Structure 1
Amino acid sequence: MGDPQNYAKIRYVKRKVEDEAVAHAILDQGLVAHVGFVAEGRPMVIPMAYARDGDRIYIHGARKTRVIAKTADLPVCLTVTHIDGLVVAKSGFNSSVNYRSCMVHGTARAVTDRAEFDRALWLITDHLMPGRSGEVRASTAQEEKATGVLAVEIEAMTVKVRSGPPIDEPEDQALDVWSGVLPIGLAIGRGVPDGFTPAAKTEPASLIAARRKFLA
């Protein structure tokens, strides 16, 4: 990661966890990164597939989209969040959410090197479905021409985690009101074949690996 002094540039928050391993775990188990950037004078946030490669995040999309075409060499922010449960307190004020969130700051860089470009697409594909890149055909030249890849070097990360039961006021604890946590978990079903895949064909290893990864 970048200079640890970068932490000082981000507002201190009570639930911030300055542990790189925790941050990496949140990023590695996330399905979607919400990418924030400014284009044409307006702030925008777009959900995108991504992959972490050490201290770098890769995102990709159609080459002509704003997030790909207009953010090279500009600062961006990526946030990945897991919702683990609803915290049901005896008051609305103390109700909350159990979650894990990692916010990444960095500067977007257009990936033009062919080897890095190919590796980035491989990583993004395999982040969601481990091993899938080895199961599918190679991209065509036209597909590659239409695709843009950005690399974001991690300059700073902020992690926030909330876990555990509600924290009610002492005078509320005896109220005859249910309180506790409503857990929220990720559910991944079985693959549904399309009209060109025989129903009897077994799932590829990548789908099995995806269930294992995201339900771990």
Structure 2
Amino acid sequence: MDAPSERTRVKRMNKRAAYDAETVHGILDAMPICNVGYVFDGAPYVTPTLQWREGDHVYWHGSSASRMLEACTEAEVCLTVSIIDGFVMARSAYNHSCNYRSVMVMGTAHKVTDAAEKEMRLKNFTEGLWPGRWDMLRKMTAQELKATTVLKLSLAEASAKVRTGAPGDDEADYALPIWAGVIPVRMEVLKPVDDPRLITGLTPPAHITDFKIG
């Protein structure tokens, strides 16, 4: 599949590139943390935040007073997601690498202005991570909804880059008595910790105890 645009074409190690929706969507769905690049007052910034995907758009949210969200609205942005799967240990420093999955999305970010749609997107974000949680929470107030901005970005200009497998050493180096291989890496979800002010007798629901990422 061809790159959707010249600016999203992977040029360095392009054999690792993927432009199909299945790969792009899978990486976005596996990692809720993203970094958003934008320009504010003529200077470049990159801000980490949480993202979620619905169909062919990616969404993120925050305070309506957020400088990042203000700067991104109706502006060109670059959103990236990265997952490290392992450290690739070669027989030379030059050939060390990482196994990873990454996505870069470029385009114009748009604000979700309809209040009902905004609440629906926030619900979908919450339910996507913790199914069943939204309906057990205190209802969001009109002021809370007003104080929250939701932005969306089309996935029309998106590319993925993925590396898997063993080191790629120089042929002559395979005879060297040096350990080489992969140190696998994963994100681990630990046992939930109760709020110190939790009402006595409450236990975490299944969407907490069974929570997974990726």
TM surpasses 0.5:
yes
CA drift of 1:61 comes to: 0.5
Q: Which residue of the partner structure matches residue 8 of structure 2?
A: 10
Counterpart CA distance in 1 for 2:107 and 2:126 is: 22
AA matched with 1:50 = Q
**3-state SS of 1:49 partner:** strand
What is the DSSP-based 3-state SS (H/G/I as helix, E as strand, rest coil) of the residue aligned with 1:119?
Answer: helix
Map of 1:31 onto structure 2: 32
Tell me the distance in 2 between the aligned counterparts of 1:38 and 1:131.
37
Residues 154-183 of structure 1 show CA distances to partners (whole Å, capped at 9, x for unaligned) of 231110000000001111111111100000
Aligned to 2:139: 138
Which residue of structure 1 lines up, in the alignment, with residue 162 of structure 2? 161
Matched residue, 1:118: 119
Pairwise mapping of residues 79-94 of structure 1 onto structure 2 (< 5 A)?
79-94=80-95
CA apart distance, 1:119 = 1.2
- Other-structure match for 2:21: 20
Q: Percent identity?
A: 39
Correspondence for 2:106: 105
Structure 2 residue matching 1:69: 3-state secondary structure: helix
Amino acid paired to 2:24: A
Task: Give the TM-score, by structure 2 length.
Answer: 0.91
Tell me the residue number matched to 2:50: 49
Q: Does the CA contact (< 8 Å) of 1:193 and 1:199 recur in 2?
A: no
Displacement of 1:46 in angstroms is 0.7
Query: Number of residue pairs matched?
Result: 210
Distance (Å, rounded) in 1 between the aligned partners of 2:86 and 2:3:
33
Counterpart-to-counterpart distance in 2, 1:187 and 1:99: 16
Counterpart AA for 1:11: R
Q: Can you list the C-alpha shifts for 1:12-71, whole angstroms capped at 9, x where unaligned? A: 331111221011010011120111111111111111111111011111001111121222
Which residue of the partner structure matches residue 190 of structure 2? 189
Distance change (3 Å), C-alpha of 1:44 and 1:127: farther
Check the 8 A contact 2:59/2:152 in 1, yes or no.
Answer: yes
Q: What's the secondary structure of 2:69's corresponding residue?
A: helix
Structure 1 contact 62–148 (Cα < 8 Å) conserved: yes
Instruction: Tell me what 1:68 maps to.
Output: 69
Please tell me whether residue 129 in structure 1 is matched to residue 127 in structure 2: no
Q: Structure 2 unaligned segments of length 5 or more: list them.
A: none
Mapped contact 2:88–2:99 kept (Cα < 8 A): yes
**Do structure 1's residue 175 and structure 2's residue 176 form an aligned pair?**
yes
Worse overlay, 116-125 or 54-63: 116-125
Structure 1 residue 195, shift from structure 2 partner: 1.3
SS in structure 1 opposite 2:31? Answer: coil
Structure 2: how far apart are the matches of 1:79 and 1:5? 16
